């Protein structure tokens, strides 16, 4: 009798484990995509507001960028802070991309939140970390406009496809987020 109940219980245990794994994976995906708020979910696959797409950001070296002008490229906007350990841990996620990737249409732009960081500190950070993509400052209000949220925690990463539509919004840093960003960028670069 005891053996029979164990046999019946095993499928239930396995289903419970499978369901827990599925729910856990769903939660990881939701966290990785920044889908905790409805606005984050709702903006995936959509073009940014025209006013935001035309908004110019300026890198420390004086170059100007806008999402509208970058259509046709895969665009990664990375919002970070020098004082944030997760932002520093997240950096290799983006510095691994090569000149070849940039030649195939990848444009990464780093945007440092202005709080507690000077231009000299940011320039030194770029040099020390060997960052090869443009980096500039962003105010909390502009950061909030880009991510369509008041949650201005860092790091946050937005990835736009060649058609200008938002493909993903990642909030935070983890091995799963790192892998998802790398995979998504590589996949989008394959598209023509």
Per-residue model confidence as pLDDT tens digits over 18-60: 434 433 433 344 444 443 444 556 789 999 999 999 999 999 9
Q: What is the pLDDT of residue 91?
A: 94
3-state SS assignment for residue 184: helix
Rounded to two decimals, the pTM is: 0.79
Residue 111's DSSP bridge partners are 79, 136
- Its sign, for the CA torsion 138, 106, 165, 158, is negative
Q: What is the pLDDT of residue 63?
A: 96
Cα(173)–Cα(10) distance, rounded to whole angstroms? Answer: 37
Q: What is the pLDDT of residue 147?
A: 93
Quickly list H helices, 33-174.
38-43, 50-54, 85-95, 99-103, 119-129, 140-147
Low-confidence ranges of the chain (pLDDT < 50): 1-38
**Residue 99 to residues 70, 78, 126, 131, Cα–Cα distance (Å):** 17, 18, 17, 12
Provide the angle, in degrees to the nearest 10, between the axes of the packed helices 175-190 and 85-95: 30
- Contact criterion met (CB below 8 Å) for 34 and 156: yes
| 101 CB-side CA count, 13 A | 21
Q: What is the pLDDT of residue 115?
A: 76
């Amino acid at each position: 009798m005891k053996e029979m109940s164990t046999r019946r219980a095993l499928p239930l245990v396995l289903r419970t484990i499978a369901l827990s794994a599925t729910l856990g994976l769903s939660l990881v995906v939701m966290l990785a995509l920044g889908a905790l708020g409805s606005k984050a979910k709702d903006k995936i696959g959509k073009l940014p507001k025209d006013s935001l797409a035309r908004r110019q950001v300026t890198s420390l070296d004086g170059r100007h960028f806008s999402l509208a002008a970058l259509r046709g490229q895969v665009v990664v906007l990375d919002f970070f802070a020098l004082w944030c350990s997760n932002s520093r841990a997240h950096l290799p996620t983006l510095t691994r991309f090569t000149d070849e990737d940039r030649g195939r249409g990848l444009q990464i732009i780093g945007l440092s939140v202005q709080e507690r960081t000077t231009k000299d500190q940011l320039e030194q950070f770029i040099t020390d970390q060997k960052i090869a993509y443009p980096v500039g400052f962003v105010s909390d209000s502009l950061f909030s406009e880009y991510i369509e949220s008041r949650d201005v925690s860092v790091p946050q990463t937005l990835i736009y496809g060649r058609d200008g539509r938002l493909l993903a919004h990642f909030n935070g840093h983890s091995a799963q987020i790192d892998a998802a960003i790398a995979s998504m960028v590589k996949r989008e670069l394959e598209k023509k």
